Structure 1
Amino acid sequence: MGIKEIIRNQNARDDRSREHTVRGKYGMAASAVEEATEAGAQVLRDGGNAADAVIAIQLALAAVEGMNTGIGASGFITYYDAGRDETKVINAHTVAPEATEPDLFLNQENEVPPFIKRSTRAEAVGIPGIMKGMETLHDKWGTMPLERLIDPAIRLAEEPYRVDSLWEKTIKMMHYRLHDEAKKVFMPKGVPLVEGDSVTQKDLAKTLKIIQEHGFSAVYEGEIAEAITDTVRANNGLVTSEDLRNYRVSIDEPLRGSYRDYEFAFPAPPNGGGFAVAQLLKILEPFNISQYGVNSWEKYFILTEALRLTLADKSTYIADPEFKEMPIEGLLSDAYIAERRKQIRLWKRNKDISYGDPWKYQDGEPNSLVHSEPAEEGNETTHFTAVDRWGNVAACTSSIERMFGSGIMVPGYGFLLNNDLTDFNPHPGRVNEPDSGKHAVSSKTPLIAFHGGKPFLTLGSPGGSTIVSSVLQVLLHVLDYEMDLNEAIAVPRIFSSVNDPVQLEVELDDEVKKKLSAMGYDLNVKTLRIGDVQAILIDQENGILYGAADRTRPGLAIGLLEPPAGG
């Protein structure tokens, strides 16, 4: 399996498409919504870099994918600085308000209410981080003025925008999450918007203009911050003006992983997605998975068992490192991985998979908190990425957690508040329990892959806990099966946690479903796509970029074949 063969198999046809892999030479952008990708691509055409492009995309998505991200979102940004040859991760994840306590979600009977109830209340709203993350990205690596980067978003909000299939599908599925203010945007006069309708978001345009004039800090101090806290207070939530004012992002070293002769940079804990993909790759490496067909039951069986092992470890050990010591060294050690790998019994479902004991392979004090199943992470998010002519790479996954977040829109400002605190396990005493100033564990996985020390591939996906599975499978399709990028994304995907039903995409071969069912797996066939991967592959030798956007959303990859403005 070689990098030259992977590049040779890229079947790029032009410079923009959602149907196949596209080619670029002077830059590439990809996101889940065409207009947002175009905003980022235009920044690259005008001479901006990858950081500038990702900022423009995030701001545009606030207008065209506000049900999944926006001003009230949080996330992680992985950035490769070509000039310094270094990779950093901006942790712009939600922090729990100061007033948060471990029993946050317990009712008067000390019971945990159903997810729909606790996730659509203001008590689920965490301190939003993505605007502070974009400010940090802009300050450290950006080159264009914010006024220029936010212009496309303002136009998309204040001018009539043609509703796409993503809006229609999301409103149809999740309209019950919307509070009254949000219904004015997504269900005007009580009628759900459908594809082809037009929507104008004057309140959101006003908010974006405030940010344009006063900077991202306006979300944390000033008019927008006051509107957020007023809204949260009116709905009995916890976020205060002091919480917003004191919020800080961090610029972290990435968690490193490897697979064959590739290396990876992931967000580190409190992000759990990076750890999970890193451990899965180490578990799978000796299986030589490409000996089985890309659509074979053997491949899907091995993935299912590996996912069960890793997600058991993730829910047991991964937490905010400021609150709990974690055995990351042990979890990723060769000896521990070998021990875990032995539990994959070819070809028999393991009924007894649980978490392991990585503390045997690392010094430290095992935490005393009780193991539990993972928190119910939101199944929607968004991922976007850009590469510029200088070789800088930016990858961001951002989210308001569930579709429509908390369902609470800030009156007069046109954006939704997140329900990020439901990423905590609602039961006190768990490693990922709520607490004041704490990050919940997230599965967001914006990664950069390296070959020979240089960036080779960047990708990510939405999907809550299924992000790990989507990212892993596309990586294997490219690195092991040497597939064209677009086709690697299009292969039907699978997801499995420890004991829950195995999720399968409906397009998966019927023989695979029959075989897995016969082996004792409880199957849950999904009519909707698992994840929504956006990816860029970099041919360092020939200076060519390849991009692809998952076909399930109205996304697009756009490559630049002509030099940007000014050469």
Structure 2
Amino acid sequence: MANLEEIFQVQKQYRIDNEDKGDTGYNGMVASAIKEASEAGNKMLDEGGNAFDALIAVQLALAVVEGMNTGIGAGGFILCYDNENKKTKVVTAHSRAPSGLTPDCFVEDDGEVMPFDERTESPVSIGVPGIMKGLEYLHKNYATLPLEQLIDPAIHLAKNEFRVNSLWDRTIQLFKHRLKETARQKFTPNGKPLREGDTITQLELAKTLEIIRDQGFKAVYEGEIADAIIDTVQEHGGMLTHQDLLNYHVKIDEPLWSTYRDFKLAFPYPPSGGGVAVAQQLKIFEELDISQYEPHSWEKYHLMAQTLQLALADREAHIGDPNFHRLPSDGLLHPDYIKKRANQIDLNKDVSKVEAGDPWEYQEGKDGSIQTNTYVDNEGYETTHFTAVDQWGNIASCTSSIERIFGSGIMVPHYGFLLNNDLTDFNPEPGNVNEPNSNKYPASSKCPTIMFHDDKPFFTLGSPGGPTIVASVAQTILNVIDYNMPLEKAIKEPRLYTTPDLETQWEDGINEKALQKLRSLGYEFTHSFRVVSADTRLGDVQAIMIDQTNGHFLYGVADSPRPGDAEGLE
């Protein structure tokens, strides 16, 4: 394990040897999955705004340039560090169920649960979008620039020709079948799917953004945009009502705090289970002393996969909306429970299916909370993550989503944005901790993260990828802290994902010797992600490292699968 001085020495030397890799800056940094959105956020920093101004500008720009993954109809979690007051807060702007939802909403007349693919296109899966309320909270409580200034880059992107990039091309080709009529007209005009190099002008979305500019974020929840949302949902047979929009408020939570080695970590609190799952993995890594094994060894991969299995099983069984169920959040991270879970891991045994443990034994005030020990991997794989750091040391980190690629596939006519299908994050079987219910948040794996050393922020990162988020975030942290990799390499290092039910996904680049040994241990590598071609990856990590020992020097990296960028302000 490297100490802080060694970690930053590696970052500095890597930057000297590779001037074209990542970006650096003293006065601010923005990292996102789309270059134009990073530019929008960096522009706010350059014009005197802070990290929260930048984050707002990035999210609004992403509504235009990454509308298949996020946008006005999205939900998300925002982690905020206010350096003046040394306070960290979580803005829970996650999509919420409408008041009319019931636990059996996805159970069909014959008693069978609606198949997952059908749920993803069902209007019943449309939740109350929260991200615009999240931006409203940031603007009122943290930001410094007027909304007109923050939204201007997004309006400019929508009004002018935007050149279709590889992400648009790939997602349209693969998922155009999920688009309903209005969305088809936008993404496949005249029946011809947009391809990389084509251009698109989004005047209807520009009109929506101009309404928000003039009336504020509340325009999404009351007024003509709200009317259009409800008309669209109800026309398709969904449950969302005007009152659901009016009743939506963000939750301001304390972070879920944990530690790893000499570092302190801040995560979103449930209904996000991402923080619990990452924290649990890191605690088990520490217990196993995983850094004693070479970074490309079969031992490391085998231990990492078994740890992930345990964390995912516990996340699925025990995490839901804390407003509806008492959750064993402390028990899941209790040192004795971590030891008990770590004792289930063995280098010399074949990989096998695992079940959730019983953390209630280690939870003060144990009760008979509802739980299920069945792992159901139905969370959407596409989302987006972005983060900003400013010259004053503030940090804003957000993971937002409309859930599946293209969300529900339903676009609001004449307003140019897609509606989410976030309620597919519920476990559709009634009687479990994450069952659907009225005004309830579904459990999520979103995990914007801030790491601290000696109470000073050191590292912020996050990733999209549904349930794979917790693998991407934990493995990137492991690469930085235990293996002292430069940030660029830590993010590019091939990642591995294994579910409790033994579904295994891996990225090209894991050496053949390790793969052969892992196959002999029972891993079936059926889903390979090609890192070298940047077609896709397990996640899409965006990260910024803060060197407090060097005048608040910033290192930023955007992952490879999307046309993103980390932009520093000198």
TM-score using structure 2 length:
0.96
Q: Does 1:381 align with 2:383?
A: yes
Task: Tell whether the 8 Å contact from 1:18 to 1:555 is kept in structure 2 after alignment.
Answer: no
Name 1:306's counterpart in structure 2: 307
Q: Distance in 2 between matches of 1:180 and 1:293?
A: 52
Give runs of aligned pairs for residues 67-146 of structure 1, distance below 5 A: 67-146=68-147
Q: Is the 8 A contact 2:318 2:372 kept in 1?
A: no
Post-superposition Cα deviations, 1:154-188, rounded to whole Å, max 9, x if no partner, equal: 01011110000000011111111100100111101
Residue 530 of structure 1 is matched in structure 2 by 538
**Cα drift, residue 544 of structure 1:** 0.5
Residue identity opposite 1:291 in structure 2? Q
3-state SS in 2 of match to 1:523: coil
Q: For 1:200-239, what aligned pairs fall within 5 Å after superposition?
A: 200-239=201-240
Name whichever of 424-433 and 224-233 sits farther off: 424-433
Residues 419/19 of structure 1: CA separation in 2 closer, same or farther (3 Å cut): farther
Local SS of the residue matching 2:43:
helix
Alpha-carbon distance in structure 1 between the residues aligned to 2:371 and 2:280: 22
CA distance in 2, matches of 1:230, 1:203: 17
Distance, in Å, in 2 between the alignment partners of 1:477 and 1:371 is 31
Q: What's 1:51 paired with?
A: 52
Deviation string 1:418-453 (CA, Å, 9 cap, x unpaired) is 000000011111211100010000000001000010
Is the contact between residue 68 and residue 405 of structure 2 (CA under 8 Å) also seen in structure 1? Answer: yes
Question: Does structure 2 retain, via aligned residues, the 8 Å contact 1:486–1:548?
Answer: yes
Distance in 2 (alpha carbons) for counterparts of 1:377 and 1:353: 19
SS of residue in 1 equivalent to 2:549: coil
Q: What is the CA-CA distance between 1:318 and the residue it aligns to? A: 0.7
Counterpart residue type for residue 539 of structure 1: D
Aligned to 2:556: 547
Deviation at 1:297, TM superposition (A): 1.2
In structure 1, C-alpha distance between the alignment counterparts of 2:20 and 2:409, rounded to whole Å: 33
1:506 shift after superposition: 2.5
> How many pairs does the alignment contain?
560
Conserved? CA contact 2:426–2:442, under 8 Å: yes
Distance in 2 between the 1:374 and 1:270 partners?
A: 16
Cα deviation for residue 372 of structure 1 reads 2.3
Q: CA deviation at 1:500?
A: 3.1
Q: Deviations over 1:516-540 (max 9, x none)?
A: 1110122223233100000000001
In 1, Cα distance between the equivalents of 2:38 and 2:161? 18
Deviates more, 1:512-521 or 1:139-148: 512-521
> What SS does structure 1 have at the residue aligned with 2:271?
coil
Selected match of 1:478 from 477, 480, 487: 480
- Give the conservation status (yes or no) of the 8 Å contact 1:448–1:458: yes
Q: Secondary structure at the match of 1:107?
A: coil
Q: Does 1:506 align with 2:508?
A: yes
Is the 8 Å Cα contact of residues 399 and 446 (structure 2) preserved in structure 1? yes
**Structural mapping, 1:58-457, within 5 Å:** 58-351=59-352, 353-362=354-363, 363-457=365-459
CA displacement at 1:512 relative to structure 2: 2.2
In the aligned structure 1, how far is the partner of 2:414 from the partner of 2:441? 29
CA contact (8 A) 1:13 1:21 kept: no
3-state SS in 1 of match to 2:545: strand
The CA deviation at 1:369 is 4.0
Q: Which runs of 5+ in 1 are unaligned?
A: 562-567
TM-score by structure 1 length?
0.97
Q: Per-residue deviation at 1:133?
A: 0.4
Counterpart CA distance in 2 for 1:18 and 1:331 is: 43
The answer on whether the counterparts of 1:320 and 1:439 sit within 8 Å (CA) in structure 2 is yes
What residue identity is the alignment partner of 2:134? G
* Whole-angstrom CA distance in 2 between matches of 1:389 and 1:460: 21
**For residue 165 of structure 1, what is the amino acid of its counterpart?**
S
Contact 1:12 1:21 (8 Å CA) reproduced: no
Structure 1 match to 2:471: 469
8 A Cα contact 2:445 2:469, kept in partner: yes
Classify the secondary structure of the residue corresponding to 2:526: strand
CA contact (8 A) 2:92 2:252 kept: yes
AA aligned to 1:96 is: A
Q: Secondary structure at the match of 1:474?
A: helix
* Identical-pair percentage: 54
Q: Shift of the alpha carbon at 1:19?
A: 6.3
What whole-Å deviation, never above 9, does each CA across 1:183-242 have from its counterpart, x for those lacking one? Answer: 111101111111100001111000000000000000001110000000000000011000
Give the match's secondary structure for 1:9. helix
- Greater Cα offset, 496-505 or 241-250: 496-505
CA 1:147/1:13 → structure 2, altered by over 3 Å: closer, same or farther?
farther
Answer whether contact 1:381 1:463 (CA < 8 A) is retained.
Answer: yes
Q: How many angstroms does 1:403 deviate by?
A: 0.3
| 2:568 aligned partner | 559
Q: Distance in 2 between matches of 1:64 and 1:83?
A: 33
Structure 2 residue aligned with 1:564: none
The residue identity in structure 2 corresponding to 1:531 is G
What SS does structure 2 have at the residue aligned with 1:302? Answer: helix
| Matched residue SS, 1:449 | strand
Root-mean-square deviation (CA, aligned residues, Å) is: 1.5
Deviation of 1:417 after TM superposition, in Å, equals 0.2
Q: Which amino acid is 1:538 matched to?
A: I
Aligned 8 A contact 1:29 1:385 in 2 = yes
Query: In the TM superposition, what is the alpha-carbon distance from 1:110 to its structure 2 partner?
Result: 1.6
Per-residue deviation at 1:502?
A: 1.2
* Aligned residue number for residue 565 of structure 1: none
Provide the C-alpha distance between the structure 2 equivalents of 1:500 and 1:509, rounded to a whole number of angstroms: 20
Find the aligned partners of 1:533 and 1:313 in 2 and give their Cα distance: 23
CA distance in 2 between partners of 1:295 and 1:177 (Å): 39
Q: Take 1:186 and 1:508, find their aligned partners in 2: how far apart are those partners?
A: 36
Please name the residue that 1:489 is paired with.
491
Q: Secondary structure at the match of 2:11?
A: coil
| Larger CA deviation: 162-171 vs 368-377 | 368-377
- Name 2:460's counterpart in structure 1: 458
Q: What do the CA deviations read for 1:90-144 (whole angstroms, capped 9, x no partner)?
A: 0000110000001111122121232221111211100000000010011110000
Shift of 1:60: 0.1
CA distance in 1, matches of 2:7, 2:136: 36
**For residue 38 of structure 2, what is the amino acid of its counterpart?**
T
Q: CA deviation at 1:286?
A: 2.8
Please tell me whether the aligned partners of residues 18 and 548 of structure 1 are also in contact (alpha carbons under 8 angstroms): no
Could you tell me how far apart the structure 2 residues matched to 1:500 and 1:409 are?
A: 36
Unaligned ranges ≥5, structure 2: 530-535
Contact 1:471 1:533 in 2 (8 A): yes
Instruction: Letter of the 1:544 partner, please give it.
Output: F
Q: Distance in 2 between matches of 1:197 and 1:145?
A: 33
Inter-partner Cα distance in structure 1 for 2:336 and 2:19? 43
